[in-house]
Structure 1
Amino acid sequence: MESKNLEIKAAVQVLKPVSEVYEAIVNPVQMSNYFINDSTGRMEEGINLIWHFPEIKDIDVPVEVGKIVKDKYISYRWDIGDIKTLIEMNLEPYEENATVITITEKGMENNEGGIKWLKENTEGWANFLACLKAWLEYGIHLRKGAFDFRFKK
């Protein structure tokens, strides 16, 4: 049996124009309202960043920004522990001032570790999309305090 690499795909419609959704993803000030705590910079093609997440203390997440096409496509690789995967985000205008965002993450082998990653990151991308939608459409910061219980000692 052939061992294929695993891939996550998640999508949602956001009731905002593509330009607003794009800016919310590449701008760290915007991202801090629904995803990261802070970043060493704005997502720009070819640069390396460090992201910090509000629920994970003392962990730097290296991000290598890949190809970016304004208002259409964002790609990057991130290194979480010893797992390095490729994330691709496609933005498509939909009807009146709405955007469909599709996220794909790939790069894990189809084995026990890969299946664990698939479960956790599928949940993570669904959460990312819900938080992005809540922030852009209603100004609600869903992540604030949402995962504290997982990291308390």
Structure 2
Amino acid sequence: MALKFEVSMRVSKPVHEVFEAVADPAKLSGYFTTGGAVGRLETGATVQWDFADFPGAFPVEVVEVVQDEKIVLKWEANEGVPEDGQPVVGANYMTTVTMSFSPLDGDTRTLVRIGEEGWRDTPTGLKASYGNCMGWTQMLACLKAFVEHGLNLREGAFR
């Protein structure tokens, strides 16, 4: 079975504004990468993301960017701690994240879809995919609150 998922949310702002809230590291750091983001999401770039809940910056490879339409990323799978309690230092494989941005209602709203795939079909891969599904769902809620209302829902949530 292929381990993959897709989550989505509608944001009440034009597609360009929503896209820039993801592609621009200063904006992304305002609601999602609570430890900061370094580097704009541009095709071929490798950027750094840092999260308060997973301390330590890590690389994110930018595979493809189509302005106001799509962002494709690759990053190392994080399989966490398996049932046997022995920590996984590095999963040594990448997953692929695809974000799409579709204008709605004459470009007054945007449908954002985020899918991720590529985990190993193992108990730890399945658990990791569920964790990332939760994380991307949180990201969409935080994106909506930030773009529509200027709120950072992750402020103080992990420290």
TM-score, normalised by the number of residues in structure 1? 0.88
| 1:71-82 equivalences in 2 (<5 Å) | 71-79=68-76, 80=78, 81-82=90-91
1:13 aligned residue:
10
CA contact (8 A) 1:8 1:121 kept: no
3-state SS in 2 of match to 1:60: strand
Percent identical pairs in the alignment equals 37
Listed as ranges, the gaps of 5+ residues in structure 1 are 149-153
CA contact (8 A) 1:10 1:103 kept: yes
3-state SS in 1 of match to 2:54: coil
- CA distance in structure 2 between the partners assigned to 1:110 and 1:55 by the alignment: 25
User: For 1:92-148, what per-residue CA distance to the aligned partner results, in whole angstroms no more than 9, with x for missing partners?
Assistant: 001141000000000012220121012211111110000000000111100111123
- CA distance in structure 1 between the partners assigned to 2:42 and 2:50 by the alignment: 17
| 1:4-153 equivalences in 2 (<5 Å) | 4-36=1-33, 37-57=35-55, 59-79=56-76, 80=78, 81-82=90-91, 84-96=94-106, 97-148=108-159
What is the total number of aligned residue pairs between the two structures? 144
Q: 1:105 to 1:50 in 2, by over 3 A?
A: same
TM-score, normalised by the number of residues in structure 2? 0.85
Alignment root-mean-square deviation, CA: 1.3
- Offset at residue 34 of structure 1 (A): 1.0
1:86 alignment partner AA: T
User: For 1:23-81, what per-residue CA distance to the aligned partner results, in whole angstroms no more than 9, with x for missing partners?
Assistant: 00000100011111322211111011111113333x12111101111000001111244
1:53 alignment partner AA: F
Single out whichever of 34-43 and 66-75 deviates more from structure 2. Answer: 34-43
